[in-house]
Amino acid sequence: MEDISVLICDDSALMRNLIGRIIDGTEGMKVVGKAMNGQFAVEKVPLLKPDVMVLDIEMPVMNGIEFLKKRKENKWDFPVIILSSVATEGAAVTMQALELGAADFITKPNGSTSADLSSVADRLTELISSYGCQYARRHGRDVYPPEFFYQQAKMRRAEHLVAEKKGGDFLKDKDISSRPLFSSRSSTATLSERTSISSISNSVRPVLDTKKPSFTWTPPAKKDPVVITPMRQGGRIEIIAIGISTGGPNALREVFKDLDPKIKQPILVVQHMPAGFTTEFANSLNRICPLQVQEANDGDVLKAGNIYIAPGNYHIYVEKKGFNYVVRLSQAEQRNGHRPSADVLFESVAKEFQNRALGVIMTGMGRDGAAEITEMRKQGAWTLGQDESSSVVYGMPKVAWELGGVQKQVGLKEMASNINKLAIEHA
């Protein structure tokens, strides 16, 4: 198997080293180059031909937005993952980057604990493997699928947990306790970065071990879908619920731009996204969608033809109040490792609407939404799932299909037309 090749572009020596350690410590991917600004990256891309790029936004000489414009000008098609801050202004620029063709984004770590960095490492690995795998395979290269990296991350988390419970010396076991994490004498590191390097080096070594694990992986066998006999026939559609994760930002843009303005049903969307970004995400979708798109608020009365995006870090579900249905938000425990969770949304729709709903499950790692869209199907709801060939990660829709929760699998380019047809015919 070949490695997924990654180019890192960030003006911070700390971040370049941090990200490099995460990547080089993961079996199946490698760093092929680093650049301290967009201009250096432009010069390196033709030589390195990366499968995926990790790009900062705020940099001297040429920033991330300018690089994305240059990427478009040069007609480069490799995926770009944005490194973003969680500030409001950072969210707006991040959405601009997505509009310019960036594939997805990850927030920079804002803590120095092992847990903080472990979360960032897992998310970064997920995005690099998902987008990098899709790109590499499209160009005829043999690389591991995203599930390989997902299982590798699970193995590492379990290993860390066992070491902590046993009170063992994880660093000693990994033979990295005497290895410097970052070079504090780097000529490109600022004084504050050198201080950061010193303060976090001990806490991140367990997360960023550069010794790649011995990892054996067997591809899961394909399963025939379970045959489900719904409790009732599909009725008129009164609500549409969508669950989506990795690959979602651009997939939703593709679908929403082609939705029919005659759609009368309210549409609720769970897109796995961190807090602080969903307001701008909804605004960016609203600019291209013929329907009204907004971030959901607790107590919103569902209106015909309006689209409600779940806020980051909040579950979203529907509840009947008098003669109306309203949006409810909750910070209850995560489901399937997520908040918002597609399962929470689908569960409430199955309960409140039974066969009078349309459920859609799209690209994403893991299985969030699969169980409860299957419950929707059992209740008689109409359901669609994104197919394997067009999914960045065929995880969530695959599990839903195998459970029998998906009536029909469709490609991304056909998703909008299928939603339009069902929504209008069964209004």
Distance CA 123, CA 110 (A): 14
CB 88 within 8 A of CB 276: yes
CA 95 centroid distance within chain: 14
For residue 86, give the nearest of 338, 282, 275, 310 by alpha carbon: 275
DSSP string, 374-406: HHHHHHT-EEEEE-TTT-SSBSHHHHHHHTT--
On the question of a cis peptide bond just before residue 180, with omega within 30 degrees of 0, the verdict is: no
Distant-in-sequence, close-in-space partners of 106: CB < 8 Å, separation ≥ 6: 81, 82, 83, 84, 120, 123, 124, 127
Distance CA 370, CA 352 (A): 18
Cα Rg of the chain, angstroms: 22
Quickly count: other Cβ atoms within 10 Å of residue 116's Cβ: 16
Catalytic residues: 245, 272, 368
Beta bridge partners of 359: 241, 383
Structure token pair of residue 29: 């991917």
For residue 39, give the nearest of 11, 4, 76 by alpha carbon: 11
Give the strand pairing for 80-84 and 239-244: unpaired
Q: What is the dihedral of CA 305, 351, 379, 252, to 10 degrees?
A: 40
Structure token pair of residue 219: 């591809």
Q: What sections of 75-169 are H helices per DSSP?
A: 88-99, 114-138, 146-166
Distance CA 303, CA 268 (A): 11
